[in-house]
Amino acid sequence: MQGSVLPRIRKKGRDAQGRVRENLKVYDVSIRYNDPITGKRKQMLRRGFLTKGAAAAFLLEQQDKLRQNTFVVPKPVSFKTFLEGWYEDYVAVNLRPSTKAGYTAIIDRHLIPHLGGLDLKEIKSADIDRLYAFLLREGRSDGKGGLSARTVIYTHRVLHEAMEYAIKRQLIFFNPAKGVLNLPKVQKRAVNVYNEAELRQLFSLTTDTVFELPALLAAVCGLRRGEILALTEDDVNWEGLSINVNKQLLDVDGAVFIGPPKSTESNRTIHVPVQVFVAIEKAITTNAANRQLLGIGHNANKLLVCDALGNPIRPRYFSKNFAALIRRHRLKNITFHGLRHCAASLMLRTGVPMKTTSSILGHSSVGITLDLYTHVMEDAKKEAAELVSKRLFP
């Protein structure tokens, strides 16, 4: 086997730190070998190594494989075949059901139709740029325009992760998703939150309805919708006035089931005000009455929030009915998830430390909490300045 490392200038690309640079120097590896089947002289080219050392290491590795009779003639691999193998070997094994469903949609709707027929090794950053431009311009399946920037960024994350997997398997040696230049930016959406008076009005309207306990758990304790709908009587600690959050109700591909929490940090204990415990006790009493009335016709799963038969409530239907409640009473528009933002805002505005707030919300890092509630912190800093001013200059 003969080989060489060839320097090349890429007009524009990302370096090892991910920064876009003009006239970026990269290295290609050219390997000449005898085809063991035909005996003919052939050439293999691996392009785009970011350092000469990485290119030389690859060349030496291939030469060692030839000496040990482990060298395999590279075969073309379609991107479709690679994605299907990556999904089965990695995604299906390591990710949560809801995340897998999102990956499946991205792969089937966007990646395979547009890039699936290409050889994995031949996919260039320009191919991905064209894909994103198409998705933004006319990517909707109903033909009514383009996809949102958020959806395209999610597509990019899936593609980037798949290409990183291909690098670890030495199928490619440069991630073309790193060279994309037209990735859209997501504009942060303003999230409606209720002030204290608006929350009290909501609590009054939801009293003795299926939304009474969920509204309190979301707006006071910061629980997610799926976490609330999965709570059972066994999760309630009456002596410690707390509840254990250790699961969530998932709705994937039309099937509703109890699954693990969103992250390791989402598995937590929440201390609950007495007023919320009153609503918990009321829900348990109502469910017990339904269970006694229906007998064997009642689902004995001990869910705190359920329908009259004891069955879990589908998350999407729950949110849809909550939105109808808001419209019916002409309240300020807010999603059910927005109540969780209310809880976070209240905690931060009343001086609860950021680390504690992040722990209560079940965020995987304080950075997520900071990113989501920067506006609240800005208001808090303004209030702090005013307090210092009043203290120094009464």
The mean pLDDT of the chain is 87
Among 133-142, 187-196, 344-353, which range has the highest average pLDDT? 133-142
Q: Decide if pLDDT at 325 tops 60.
A: yes
CA distance 167 to 250: 33
What pLDDT shows up at residue 209? Answer: 93
Instruction: Quote the CA–CA distance of 149 and 134 in Å, as a whole number.
Output: 12
Which residue matches tokens 């994103």?
132
Question: Over 90: is that where the pLDDT of 2 sits?
Answer: no
pLDDT band at 234 (very low <50, low <70, confident <90, very high): very high
Q: Lowest mean pLDDT: which of 172-176, 242-246, 263-267, 363-367?
A: 363-367
pLDDT at res. 20: 75
Structure tokens at 376: 């609240």
Phi (first) and psi of residue 96, to 5 degrees: -70, 155
Report the C-alpha gap between 39 and 36 in whole angstroms: 5
- Over residues 104-132, the mean pLDDT reads 93
Residue 163 in contact with residue 177, Cβ under 8 Å? yes
In sequence order, the 6+-apart residues with CB closer than 8 A to the CB of 80 are: 112, 116, 117
Give the distance from CA 183 to its chain's centroid: 18
SS3 122: helix
Tell me the per-residue pLDDT of 79-107, one tens digit each, with 9 for 90 and over. 999 999 999 999 999 988 888 989 999 99
Q: Are 102 and 108 contacting, i.e. CB atoms less than 8 angstroms apart?
A: no
Cβ-based neighbour number of residue 172 at 10 Å: 21
Joined tokens for residue 177: 């998703």
Given this model, what pLDDT does residue 335 score? 93
Asked if pLDDT for residue 37 goes beyond 60, the answer is: no
Pairing of strands 268-271, 242-245: antiparallel
Would you state the structure tokens that stand for residue 221, as one six-digit string? 């304790």
Residue 115 — pLDDT band, cuts 50, 70, 90?
very high
- Burial state string for 290-304 with b = 16 or more CB within 10 A and e = fewer than 16: bbeeeeeebbeebbb
Burial-class residue 246 by CB neighbours within 10 Å (0-12, 13-18, 19+): middle
Low-confidence winner among 63-67, 105-109, 284-288, 337-341 (lowest mean pLDDT): 63-67
pLDDT band at 246 (very low <50, low <70, confident <90, very high): very high
Q: Which of the two residues, 65 and 379, has the higher pLDDT score?
A: 65
* Predicted pLDDT at 375: 61
Q: Coil, strand or helix: which one is 239?
A: coil
pLDDT over 90 at 3, yes or no: no
Taking only the tens place, the pLDDT of each residue in 355-365 is: 888 888 888 77
Coil vs helix vs strand at 270: strand
Written as one string, the DSSP assignment of 66-125 is HHTT--------BHHHHHHHHIIIIIHHHS-HHHHHHHHHHIIIIIHHHHTTSBGGG--H
Where does the pLDDT of residue 256 fall: very low under 50, low under 70, confident under 90, or very high at 90 and above?
A: confident
Q: How far is CA 257 from the centre of its chain?
A: 19
| 3 state DSSP class of 312 | coil
| Nearest to 305, CA basis, from 236, 238, 252, 374 | 236
